[in-house]
Amino acid sequence: MARLSGRTALVTGGGQGVGRGIALALAAEGAAVVITGRTEGKLKDTAGEIAERGGRAHTVVGDVGERDDVDRMVAETVREFGGLDVLVNNAQSSVQRKLAETSYEDVELTYRSGPLAAFHAMQAALPHLKESRGSVVNLGSSAAVQGEATFAAYAMAKEAIRGLSRVAAREWGAYGIRVNVICPAALSPAAEDYLAAHPHKADELARQIPLGRLGDPEADIGRAVAALVSDDMAYLTGATLMLEGGRTLIG
């Protein structure tokens, strides 16, 4: 039997990139998956691929930066599949600028779609996660851990998410809820566009990763998340998994 058979997962930002890879991998392990995002076409494409593989998926169009939308995402998940076992807070908007050029509005945008969205989604999901003794996976970033230049707003938001996750792991452990963070370095639409425009950067990027490549959103990141939320990892909470091919070892 698949490891996640009979369980339901909600993945924000599931229409592309890492979120899509996570949604596909969770469905492959038997979970019914609700994917959310702002672009209906991308969500439908991901849901269609899940269905073609024999899985179950439901889409909810919405913006995690809007609290009413987040409430609706959780409510539709429970209404569609009868409960909630896994919450993956993946969606994130941000801008990339040098610190001196980063505006308050840049930080506000990044926080609203990042730690504030995760905070609200976790609170909205809590009653259902208590029932299922479920699992939360929040997305951090290797760029934040490394303190990469031009990532000020993004790094602030992602490290705030890690702090939130540690507190939740400590407080919610009594309910049997596990809360962990992954920090991926993986191919995304933005990364693919950048490398297509700057092909000479591909070798430079590979040299910064001991394993010599960016991760695949489904095979490397999604499958790790599927393992993380399964019973195989039932004793792990409050942890950060660096799914970045060893990138932070180089700095």
Residue 188 pLDDT level (bands cut at 50, 70, 90) = confident
Tokens for 62, please give them: 């919405």
Residue 144 domain-assigned (yes or no): yes
Per the annotation, the verdict on 111 as an active-site residue is no
pLDDT at residue number 1:
74
Q: What is the pTM of this model?
A: 0.96
Residue 106 domain-assigned (yes or no): yes
Per the CB < 8 A criterion, the answer to whether 168 and 187 are in contact is no
**pLDDT beyond 80 at 201:** no
CATH number of domain containing 149: 3.40.50.720
Q: Nearest-5° angle of CA 11, CA 14, CA 18?
A: 100
**pLDDT beyond 70 at 44:** yes
What is the pLDDT averaged over residues 243-250? Answer: 92
| Of 157, 156, 89, the residue nearest 124 (C-alpha) | 89
What is the pLDDT averaged over residues 182-190? Answer: 88
**pLDDT beyond 90 at 193:** no
Residue 18 domain-assigned (yes or no): yes
Question: Which strand ranges, in their side-by-side order, compose the sheet holding 178-184?
Answer: 57-61, 32-37, 8-12, 86-89, 135-139, 178-184, 240-243
Among candidate residues 154, 175, 194, 235, the one labeled active-site is 154
Residue 112 domain-assigned (yes or no): yes
pLDDT at residue number 250:
82
Residue 251 domain-assigned (yes or no): no
Residue 3 domain-assigned (yes or no): no
* Count of structural domains, the chain: 1
pLDDT at residue number 206:
83
Residue 199 domain-assigned (yes or no): no
Which range of residues forms the domain containing residue 35? 8-186+214-242
Give per-residue pLDDT as tens, 118-154: 999 999 999 999 999 999 999 999 989 998 899 999 9
pLDDT at residue number 251:
64
Is 132 exposed, middle or buried (CB count within 10 Å of its CB: 0-12, 13-18, 19+)? middle
Of 208 and 7, the one with more pLDDT? 7
Cα–chain center distance at 123: 17
Residue 209 domain-assigned (yes or no): no
Residue 187 pLDDT level (bands cut at 50, 70, 90) = confident
Per the CB < 8 A criterion, the answer to whether 22 and 225 are in contact is yes
